[in-house]
Structure 1
Amino acid sequence: MRGITLPSWNTDDYAGPQAGTYLRQIADTGARWVTFTPTWYQDTVTDAAMRTTDETASDASLRHIIRLAHEAGLKTMLKPHVDLTKGGDRAEIHPGDADAWFAAYERFITHYAGLAADAGVEQFAVGTELAGTSGDGAHWSRVVAAVRERYKGTLTYAANYDEYRKVAFWKDLDLVGIDAYWPLGDKPTTDTARLRQAWQPIVDELAAFSARTKRKILFTEAGYVSQRGSTTAPYSWTVSKRDGDAEQAAGYEALLATFDGKPWWAGVCWWMWDDWPDSGETAKKLAYTPHGKPAEKVLRRWWLRGE
């Protein structure tokens, strides 16, 4: 998978005038996949249900952008998210009533499974970084079974890098998905060799995990902000306020050079392409996007070789 995520933050982002432009730009990097992230919300980590808000991509906009992606020659992954309206990490969601929460979650995720089936989406993630629940194999197995009734394509779950070993339902899925935000050191660096060395124990760990689960491993997310220190905390939007284009590019280069050709590695979907106009909280020059930066040149070099 050579992919890039195009998230949405508002109801009509995916129907906006920039949608076609962004997809063409993504395809021009050599990407062959794009991921979309419709998001529902709950107020607190113990709530028993999630709901749409004015930040949830509308179904019409989602169908629209999936069609545009296919027209641009891109395959699609749908990766619905649950977030918190009052701030906090979705990994900390730990419902007070597990039965009620999973019943609500099943309604949420099967809604998108049906939409994915209708729209010809090629791959589907049944959840993202829900570490407070992903050890509950019985509930999750029922959720996955309900998804499979509606959607016949490839299924994964996007576990955070510090969560994937605790996920109890990999046997129910086709791919192990990991959001690959491992810190690669405690000091900023643009030394690709040093970063590749930092990846080596993780490579060994993942190869063994793939063999144990009999599943290939997909990096459902990976990325680095354009900030000095981004490789020390790839999961952070706010590592520093200092330009880090070179460090971002080194992070891209090290990951692709390390994992390319590994028979158990299914590829990567980078987080993320440009924010929609007027929606970004982080200035583009400091944000995760590789667009117009040295990291985009790294992608083109790796993904357009031989084409």
Structure 2
Amino acid sequence: MAAVLLAVPGCSPADMDASGHGGSRAARPGSGTPTMRGFALPSWYRTDYDSPAAPRYLRDIRATGARWVTFTPTWYQNRVTDTALHTTEETASDASLRRIVGRAHAAGLKVMIKPHVDLPGDADRAGIRPRDRAAWFAAYRRFITHYARLAADTRTEQFSVGTELAGVSGDTGAWRKVIEAVRDHYDGPLTYAANYDEYQHIHFWKDLDLIGIDAYWPLSDRPTSDSARLSRAWVPIGKRLAAYSARQSRRILFTEAGYVSQRGTTTAPYSWTVSTHPANAEQAAAYRALLDSFEGRAWWAGVCWWMWDDWPGSGETPARLAYTPHGKPAEEVLRREWAH
């Protein structure tokens, strides 16, 4: 889940081609942050990260060519107006999080910890608007610095200070205090995971090392498995992102991107329930289009795909319809694209 007029670290305005992409496709890392090829492995229960499936999941993620994995410990608040955050049985235990970071490192994967705040049921965290913002931010600083210390202790390579909190992300001064508090405990690169319709309203990017975007842009007005058509849809988005990266002097990381294997996923990538009809070809085309559009661009810091397999017994969406590409054509797209 970061001015001089500089297009991107290592990329001048002249390097941008007509599509808004870097003229050279050679990766030129900026700000000391490696390009991410990763997967999110979220937890939905206290002991998920201690599941017997965990070592296999990490090996399978690594086998796609991924080099990163993101873990998402989650705290909750009961109502959008509340000022208190708390753990539940759905919060990964600290001990399990420490252990899975160690397992990921042993498997050859770098780690990002991306703590989430959620609401009960299907309520959107973007709707959080606490009645007492000062009290909420004080609680939030306690929450996020808890994980910043854990990230430092486990030598986690990257950390997100927040995810999709559009209802409060306009409080720039409060977020700068959050970031300062995190940096008191953690020395690695920092980002914030803004929703695709939120990132332009964030005014603290230059306090961070990377711009993070959860990249769920609709790419089509109807279901399609035409990857060339989807790539064309990315062109104007890419132009805007390249220009935004230049203005902020920060690379852009897709902190999340993903597509369910359901008919119509390219029309609403953020939806878990577009339809009940499997569409592996549409999911694979969407994977291919995103990588074709952004891999190697100097201003692009990579992607963390949402998501790998659900934990055994915990998935509400059948695997054949879910975000996971595991065992589907989209996984083969990754294996080909990330083989080099």
TM-score, normalised to structure 1, is 0.99
Partners in 1 of 2:122 and 2:306 — Cα distance?
Answer: 20
The aligned length equals 305
Corresponding residue SS for 2:149 = helix
Q: 1:86 to 1:223 in 2, by over 3 A?
A: closer
Q: Which residue of 2 aligns with 1:38?
A: 73
Partners in 2 of 1:161 and 1:280 — Cα distance?
Answer: 25
Describe the superposition over 1:191-248 as per-residue Cα deviations: whole angstroms up to 9, x where unpaired: 0110000001000000000000000000000000000000000000000000110000
2:306 pairs, out of 262, 271, 294, with 271
1:227 is aligned to 2:262: yes
Corresponding residue SS for 1:141 = helix
Task: Please show how residues 236-275 of structure 1 align to structure 2 within 5 Å.
Answer: 236-275=271-310
Where in structure 1 are there 5+ consecutive unaligned residues? none
Partners in 1 of 2:325 and 2:121 — Cα distance?
Answer: 29
1:280 is aligned to 2:334: no
Q: Which residue of 1 aligns with 2:87?
A: 52
1:71 is aligned to 2:103: no
Query: Percent identity over the alignment?
Result: 70
Q: Which residue of 2 aligns with 1:213?
A: 248
Describe the superposition over 1:45-84 as per-residue Cα deviations: whole angstroms up to 9, x where unpaired: 1100110000000000000000000000000000000000
Q: Which residue of 2 aligns with 1:142?
A: 177
What is the aligned-residue RMSD (CA, Å)? 0.5
Where in structure 2 are there 5+ consecutive unaligned residues? 1-35
Partners in 2 of 1:245 and 1:187 — Cα distance?
Answer: 16
Query: In the alignment, is the contact (CA less than 8 A) between 1:43 and 1:86 conserved in 2?
Result: no
Q: Which residue of 1 aligns with 2:18?
A: none
User: How far off is 1:87 after superposition?
Assistant: 3.5
1:127 pairs, out of 158, 162, 166, with 162
Partners in 2 of 1:192 and 1:117 — Cα distance?
Answer: 40
User: How far off is 1:86 after superposition?
Assistant: 4.4
Letter in 2 for 1:52: T
Partners in 2 of 1:176 and 1:232 — Cα distance?
Answer: 24
Q: Which residue of 1 aligns with 2:7?
A: none
Corresponding residue SS for 1:150 = coil
Query: In the alignment, is the contact (CA less than 8 A) between 1:220 and 1:268 conserved in 2?
Result: yes
2:205 pairs, out of 142, 165, 170, with 170
Task: Please show how residues 74-223 of structure 1 align to structure 2 within 5 Å.
Answer: 74-223=109-258
Q: After the TM superposition, which parts of structure 1 deviate over 2 Å for at least 4 consecutive aligned residues? A: none
Which protein is richer in helix relative to its size? 1
Corresponding residue SS for 1:102 = helix
Partners in 1 of 2:339 and 2:96 — Cα distance?
Answer: 30
Corresponding residue SS for 1:73 = coil
Corresponding residue SS for 1:8 = coil
Partners in 2 of 1:21 and 1:230 — Cα distance?
Answer: 28
